[in-house]
């Protein structure tokens, strides 16, 4: 049985094994487990039951990981996308005045459209049409983006009125906990210690609890909150999507999720070395996994689902097959019962891992042809745009709009495919919608 599973996931071809895949899945889960607590808080602002959102997030994430792992066989985990959940609560519900049930119906309608685009292989054609240099730029940009997230959440950088960002306060104990974790992980990585990122997270957690910077939980097991308050509300309220304004909301859900997840897939596939001849094998199955997860998530009661960039932490540990995602999915199921224990996974525990992953993903910078300015300019806009706009999709938009313009100016317009010209127009519309909602 073990040999059949290994053959199905192509362990020998990918150079992996059960131990590595398990450790990678656990590392990915630890890196993204915060979503179980962040998502209920954000969606709770709209009036949704936080307990139900917690359970919906865990179940939808587990479903997505299982489908991704079994069907597409990729080490990529899925969960509720950050940013779009804030748009759900603060713009659609609080800002526009719609009920959370109507907003959830908007997510459901967008997810159906998402599946249609996937079924007609439009998303697959988009991925294949992206030039190699821009794929490398997306991977690098995501690396800088998640490193910036790690630096910010760990307290090493903070907002500043005079300089936009500045060095964080070294008078705060939790900042030093991040520093300790980063130093330990860098040393372990440099010494080529297997599982260095995961070990670094464990050491950081222990140091945090011993020093009192991380609270030791009073209990380990807790009951799973009921899903009843949110279950199937999206379906029941779908007929309420009947105005131009709500159609714009649906389109925003669709576009942001489309480009965020597509960009994340490209970046993670590059990091894992799975891109062959500028194509991602089984990308169609991977896109079916995330589009179906978005449908399931909306019916359970959570905001749009998508590929999670923190999957890069598991890939950095050595995860290469779908078993990594499956392991992550099982931990999401277990997480529903051990929610008190999960509180020890603070921002300071995951921050060093995200920073290190940023270092690893930045290696894709070497694959960009910097000597050709018409390539360098759009690539740079993608790379710089992601962390500076705090959005994967916005960074991609800036680079994709510039790419055909710079190529035409360099008298290389004929080398740009029709899809890339079309995407430039779509992104102009995309940015206009986001800035006029």
Which residues on adjacent β-strands are paired with residue 164?
160
The answer to whether the CB of 310 falls within 8 A of the CB of 28 is: yes
Residue 414's pLDDT band (cuts 50, 70, 90)? very high
Total structural domains within the chain:
2
Residue 83 has pLDDT above 70, yes or no: no
What integer pLDDT is reported at residue 375 of this predicted model? 96
Query: Are 275 and 316 part of one and the same domain?
Result: yes
- Of residues 261 and 140, more confidence is placed in 140
Position 349 in a domain? no
Average pLDDT on 385-390 reads 87
Q: Over the stretch 336-376, which tens digit does the pLDDT of each residue have?
A: 887 776 678 778 887 888 888 788 778 788 889 999 999 99
Query: Are 424 and 338 part of one and the same domain?
Result: no
Torsion of CA 198, 201, 206, 208, to 10 degrees: 180
Query: Are 132 and 268 part of one and the same domain?
Result: yes
Q: How far is CA 257 from CA 115, 129, 252, 407, in A?
A: 12, 19, 8, 28
Query: Are 322 and 380 part of one and the same domain?
Result: no
Residue 59 has pLDDT above 80, yes or no: yes
Angle separating helix axes 100-119 and 122-129, nearest 10 degrees: 70
The answer to whether the CB of 293 falls within 8 A of the CB of 63 is: yes
Query: Are 122 and 256 part of one and the same domain?
Result: yes
Position 198 in a domain? no
- Burial class from Cβ neighbours inside 10 Å (0-12, 13-18, 19+) for residue 357 reads buried
Q: How far apart are the first and last CA of the chain?
A: 53
Query: Are 102 and 234 part of one and the same domain?
Result: yes
Residue 87 has pLDDT above 80, yes or no: no
Residue 234 has pLDDT above 70, yes or no: yes
What integer pLDDT is reported at residue 101 of this predicted model? 94
Average pLDDT on 390-414 reads 90
Residue 424's pLDDT band (cuts 50, 70, 90)? very high
Position 360 in a domain? no
The answer to whether the CB of 139 falls within 8 A of the CB of 266 is: yes
**Does the predicted model carry a pTM greater than 0.95?**
no
Domain hosting 411: range is 371-437
- Of residues 435 and 321, more confidence is placed in 321
> H or E element: which one contains 8?
helix 2-8
Tokens, residue 59? 């179940």
What integer pLDDT is reported at residue 413 of this predicted model? 93
Residue 62 has pLDDT above 90, yes or no: yes
Torsion of CA 165, 171, 174, 175, to 10 degrees: 40
What integer pLDDT is reported at residue 436 of this predicted model? 60
Query: Are 55 and 125 part of one and the same domain?
Result: yes
Mean pLDDT score of the chain, rounded to an integer?
86
């Amino acid at each position: 049985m073990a040999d059949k599973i290994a053959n199905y996931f192509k362990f020998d071809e990918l150079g992996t094994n059960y131990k590595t895949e398990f450790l990678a899945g656990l590392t990915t889960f630890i890196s993204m487990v915060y979503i179980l607590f962040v998502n209920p808080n954000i969606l709770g602002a709209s009036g949704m039951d936080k307990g139900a959102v917690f359970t919906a997030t865990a179940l939808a994430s587990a479903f997505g990981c299982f489908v991704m792992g079994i069907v597409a066989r990729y080490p990529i985990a899925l969960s509720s996308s950050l940013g779009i959940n804030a748009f759900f609560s603060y713009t659609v519900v609080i800002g526009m005045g719609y009920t959370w049930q109507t907003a959830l119906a908007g997510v459901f309608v967008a997810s159906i459209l998402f599946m249609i685009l996937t079924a007609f292989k439009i998303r697959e054609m988009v991925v294949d049409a992206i030039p190699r240099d821009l794929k490398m730029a997306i991977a690098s940009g995501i690396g800088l983006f998640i490193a910036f997230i790690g630096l910010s959440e760990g307290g090493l950088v903070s907002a500043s009125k005079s300089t936009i960002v500045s060095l964080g306060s070294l008078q705060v104990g939790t900042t030093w906990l991040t520093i300790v974790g980063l130093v330990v992980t860098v040393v372990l990585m440099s010494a080529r210690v297997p599982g260095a990122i995961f070990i670094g997270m464990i050491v950081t957690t222990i140091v945090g609890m011993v020093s009192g910077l991380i609270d030791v939980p009073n209990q380990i097991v807790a009951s799973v909150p009921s899903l009843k308050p949110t279950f199937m509300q999206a379906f029941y309220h779908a007929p309420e999507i009947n105005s131009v304004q709500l159609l714009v909301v649906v389109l925003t859900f669709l576009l942001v999720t489309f480009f965020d997840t597509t960009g994340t897939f490209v970046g993670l596939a590059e990091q894992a070395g799975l891109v062959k001849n500028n194509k991602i094998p089984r990308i169609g199955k991977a896109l079916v996994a995330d589009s179906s997860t978005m449908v399931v998530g909306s019916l359970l009661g959570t905001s749009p689902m998508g590929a999670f960039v923190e999957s890069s932490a598991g890939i950095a540990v050595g995860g290469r097959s779908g078993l990594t995602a499956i392991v992550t999915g099982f931990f999401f199921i277990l997480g529903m019962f051990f929610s008190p224990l999960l509180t020890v996974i603070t921002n300071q525990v995951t921050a060093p891992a995200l920073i290190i992953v940023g270092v690893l993903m930045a290696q894709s910078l070497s694959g960009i042809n910097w000597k050709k300015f018409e390539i360098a300019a759009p690539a740079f806009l993608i790379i710089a745009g992601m962390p500076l706009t705090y959005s994967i999709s916005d960074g991609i938009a800036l680079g994709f709009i510039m790419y055909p313009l710079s190529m035409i100016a360099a008298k290389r317009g004929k080398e740009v495919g029709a899809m890339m010209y079309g995407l430039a127009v779509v992104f102009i519309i995309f940015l206009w919608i986001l800035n006029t909602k």
